[in-house]
Amino acid sequence: MTNGVTFDFIHRFEPGTDERAPPLLLLHGTGGDENDLLSLGRALSPGSALLSPRGPVLENGMPRFFRRLAEGVFDEADVRRRAGDLAAFVAQARAAYGLAAPVAVGFSNGANIAAATLLLHPEVLAGAVLLRAMVPLAESPPADLAGRPVLLLSGTLDPIVPAENAERLAARLAQAGAAVTHTVNPAGHGLSQADLAASGAWLAKNFGG
């Protein structure tokens, strides 16, 4: 219970200290929680308000944002449902905390739910940093992302996300009108210093964070 509101997601919220910096919606990877990306958010955009929910799905005890059937094979009905739940949570949090539309910063499973939210609920996010994201849905309805800035960071050595899959996601987002920057770094599935530097610079350039 926060500000008289009972939220649908367990989460952490840190108020911003710079009104010019964009609120960040931090979305962890499999096995993470609401604390995982707080330090990343502070590093990428000092002064931003940070909203960090815990994924509501458990896979062998590890929190995720949606179910999967196997590695890289998503339960697409659940993806759609959970993207709707996340969109509703963001609206709830914006009203409770007085936030502008946030920029999602998602890693792995968190990046995938952020991509699904962009495609299914394009009004929810001001933009997104998608770290090691995959195509979340085989098909999705036409979305109007109207110049929404999106940074997609992939790794050349990533054993989980095929290069072709990341390229398809970039193309789908661009087709929906997003202003997509897709950068491939010499890294695996984990994050590198190059990813952090690129993300921080991109946020500062696009959102003044």
Residue 109 clears pLDDT 70, i.e. is over it: yes
d(CA 25, CA 111): 11
pLDDT tens, residue by residue, 44-85: 999 999 999 999 999 999 999 999 998 889 999 999 999 999
d(CA 85, CA 90): 9
Higher per-residue pLDDT: 4 or 160: 160
Q: Which domain holds residue 170?
A: 11-207
Q: Hunting for tokens 């770290």 — which residue is that?
A: 131
Q: Is residue 130 part of a domain?
A: yes
Average pLDDT over residues 177-201: 96
Per-residue pLDDT at 6: 83
Q: Is residue 3 part of a domain?
A: no
Q: Is residue 46 part of a domain?
A: yes
35 near 11, Cβ under 8 Å? no
Confidence label for 1 from pLDDT (cuts 50, 70 and 90): very low
Residue 209 clears pLDDT 90, i.e. is over it: no
Residue 2 clears pLDDT 80, i.e. is over it: no
Q: Is residue 171 part of a domain?
A: yes
Q: Is residue 5 part of a domain?
A: no
pLDDT tens, residue by residue, 146-176: 999 999 999 999 999 999 999 999 999 999 9
Q: Which residues are catalytic?
A: 108, 158, 189
Say what percent of the chain tops pLDDT 70.
Answer: 98
Number of domains in the chain: 1
For 154, the token pair is: 């992939």
Per-residue pLDDT at 4: 64
Q: Is residue 196 part of a domain?
A: yes
Q: Is residue 62 part of a domain?
A: yes
Confidence label for 5 from pLDDT (cuts 50, 70 and 90): confident
Q: Is residue 112 part of a domain?
A: yes
172 near 119, Cβ under 8 Å? yes
Per-residue pLDDT at 153: 98
Residue 160 sits in a domain whose CATH number is 3.40.50.1820
d(CA 16, CA 46): 8
d(CA 25, CA 96): 15
d(CA 41, CA 44): 5
Q: What is the mean pLDDT of the chain?
A: 95
